Structure 1
């Protein structure tokens, strides 16, 4: 019998996979939703980590019909859906003056609309006691050059979290957000701000995907039953220093 059914969007990325493994370690059934196709290694890794079931689905998270299909697949396969962790995200590095409408729509579609669509389905279909965890970013509060659409999307995701928590309360569904700081991922290393030295990260401020995964697992657990509508910074204290 499946103990918990979990969807992780952006599941093939560094943070997404760490989150999925954290829930797999509890024996949960995991569905990875990602724009890329799994070659089988991700599902195998989750099975090895203890998942009771695991599958991976290629999906454009900004496509409403596709998102509905993913949720339906999870429920049909697992018999239940208890947790959605919205990790999917992309970056565009451009000055605001060079950004096109396509740039804005593409990034907001993945980073904000996708999470909104999955959250909507969660509120419609998940049972009381379920949880949504949105992976936002410290860019929702403080940001740097060249990432305006990303920062705007993450700020929107924090606002979405608050609204969904209010509407989810009467349903018994909690919704929280995590604001990671600098996390050792391929996305971080692809940043031209990092490569150029415009943004310097102290090694002590560099977190690991597992740090975010542990917090996501906690927020989705009964131990966090009294926490909802919160946006929790996980940045090693970097943003709190003058």
Structure 2
């Protein structure tokens, strides 16, 4: 199995794409560290993995709090002494026009979506052995977006720039970094989006992906099979960007 004896840290592992990714990694032999804010959801993810014969733990972590991130990484390193795979999936959105958006919401979103990626990368890198991988979960909103989600789109565009820049600082034979950009995926984030609910953003249900499809792509990018892929973004969107 591709992740046997690998310690995989996944943010946003309590629902949607992150949860599906945790389950996929666990099924492929990983020791999965599930990060999220909700303990009940986290325990559910862990139970799913362990009942299938995998290994996982849940650690509560609010990515809006830098001290919590630092404490969480310290716990992981103390317990496992390394991080082989870092997957940054957790994200938040806002749904207001920029002129109406309190800048405190902008700051919070950037903290969760972007700064946490930088901090987790900074903290994990010293403990990542040769062959490790970082996968940041971006979005097609980095390339094709709608009104009222400017902060989210901005954070995802910056995330992809971060991946490109970090690829210049890392030797891909040691540690790789890439991004995966999902399109519309059947998750709570999609169906609770006010732009989707009010019809501003039209979603063809026939082209909505499943979390498991994204998990398969993320697992590939994190695996040794993607050893020559570095500093790029893989769009997993059912061809949405190809229609631009």
TM-score range, shorter chain: over 0.9
1:145 corresponds, among 144, 147, 155, to 147
| Aligned partners of 2:88 and 2:136 also within 8 Å | yes
Q: Distance in 2 between matches of 1:105 and 1:144?
A: 20
Residue 173 of structure 1 corresponds to which residue in structure 2?
Answer: 175
Residue 46 of structure 1 corresponds to which residue in structure 2?
Answer: 49
User: Structure 1 residues 38 and 156, CA, compared in 2 at 3 Å: closer, same or farther?
Assistant: same
1:186 corresponds, among 169, 188, 191, to 188
Aligned pairs, how many?
240
**SS of structure 2 residue aligned to 1:6:** strand
1:11 corresponds, among 13, 31, 37, to 13
| Aligned partners of 1:26 and 1:50 also within 8 Å | no
Residue 111 of structure 1 corresponds to which residue in structure 2?
Answer: 113
Residue 225 of structure 1 corresponds to which residue in structure 2?
Answer: 227
Q: Give the gaps of 5 or more residues in structure 1.
A: none
- Which structure 2 residues correspond to residues 124-143 of structure 1 after superposition, within 5 A? 124-143=126-145
Moved over 6 A (4+): none
Q: After superposition, give the CA deviation of every residue in 1:164-220 in whole Å (9 maximum; x if it has no partner).
A: 222122771100001100000001001111111122122232001111110111011
| Aligned partners of 2:182 and 2:235 also within 8 Å | yes
> What's the Cα RMSD here?
1.5
Q: Distance in 1 between matches of 2:211 and 2:65?
A: 27
Q: What's the CA shift for 1:35?
A: 2.1
Scaled by the length of structure 2, the TM-score of the pair is: 0.93
Q: Give the gaps of 5 or more residues in structure 2.
A: none
Q: What's the CA shift for 1:12?
A: 0.5
Residue 97 of structure 1 corresponds to which residue in structure 2?
Answer: 99
Does residue 87 (structure 1) correspond to residue 84 (structure 2)? The answer is no
Q: Distance in 2 between matches of 1:67 and 1:29?
A: 19
